[in-house]
Homo-oligomer: A and B are copies of this chain.
Amino acid sequence: MPPRRGQQLVQSLERGLAALEMALDGNVRPSHVAEALGIDRSTAYRLLYTLMAKGYLLQDERTREFTSNPAKFFQLYGKVATLLDWSDVAGDFLTRLRDQSGETANLGVRQANNVIYIAHKPGQAALSVNFALGTSRPLHCSALGKALLAAQPDAVTAEWVASAALTSYTAKTITEPSRLKRHLERVRVEGYAVDDEETFAGVRCIAAPLHDHRAQVIAALGISGPTTRITHERLPHFAQNVMQVAAQLSAELGAPGAEP
């Protein structure tokens, strides 16, 4: 018997959700899930079967593989419709930012240790940064993520920085906790965050936080583009642009103190 932790999680549910997420990353079979989770094949099978019975998965009649059921997830997603509304509200501002900067504009929220991109307007230049909605990126090396991190109270940020796994993606990724902490302090002072090729070589991003009617930071807005266009010289200009649109969107969301 494993030692009881502070809070006991329901094991079957935990494993079932893990199996579900595996199926979302690609078709799975009981043997795969069993190996990945360190459980018996039969157990994995019963979890998958239950997920299928509840509509989350489908099973291919021929190959016997379990697949995620897109319709089910679309339905679930439709129920958290607030985000859809978000896209509608933010759409005009993203377009404005995209047109003013000429680069891909995007908007993301925090989910655990990641930023999730929930709305975007891809740039129209031949060479533009592009990725699918719903993509997640680490907080510590994305502009949106750093803008969100910097908005937290000092103590929270300090604790997070100390305990987080600062995975390196490029030579420029900040992996030292102390350096990241100082970096975030500067982000807060300046009002915007920069990802200077810390996630992808050749890609620079700029982001600023968005405030709601309670002045709470709930999301971040930014642009991403190739280093050839977002140069160090033009960076301050882009940053002003991002902050300006972020303030406008915040005002639209009812943030106090923002320009009308």
Chain A residues near B (Cβ < 8 Å):
7-17, 21, 24-25, 46-47, 49-51, 53-56, 68-84, 109-112, 114, 116, 118, 132-136
Contact at B132–A81, with CB atoms within 8 Å? yes
The answer on a CB contact under 8 Å between B84 and A133 is: yes
| In the complex, residue of chain B having the shortest beta-carbon distance to the beta carbon of A9 | B50
- Tell me the number of copies of this protein: 2
Known: A25-B79, A70-B80, A109-B71. A8 touches B136 (CB 8 A): no
Please tell me if the beta carbons of A81 and B9 are within 8 angstroms of each other in the complex.
no
Besides A10-B12, A71-B110, A78-B116, 9 other A-B contacts (C-beta < 8 A): A8-B46, A17-B51, A17-B54, A17-B56, A55-B111, A68-B79, A68-B80, A71-B118, A73-B77
In angstroms, Cα B11 to Cα A12, docked, is: 8
Q: How far is the CA of A84 from the CA of B47 in the complex (A)?
A: 28
A149 CB → nearest B CB, Å: 15
- The one of B9, B46, B47 that contacts A53, using a Cβ cutoff of 8 Å: B9
* Measured CA separation A76–B74 after assembly (Å): 9
In the assembled complex, the Cα of A132 lies from the Cα of B74 at a distance in Å of: 12
Contact B116 A24 (CB under 8 A): no
Q: Who on chain B is nearest to A109 by CB? A: B71
- How distant is the Cα of A50 from the Cα of B16 in the complex, in angstroms? 11
Q: How far is the CB of A48 from chain B (nearest CB, A)?
A: 10
From B68, B82, B133, A70 is in contact (CB under 8 Å) with B82
User: How far does the alpha carbon of A79 sit from the alpha carbon of B67 in the complex, in Å?
Assistant: 12
Which of these, B12, B16, B75, B82, contacts A116 with CB under 8 Å?
B75
Contact partners of A9 in chain B: CB under 8 A: 46, 49-50, 53
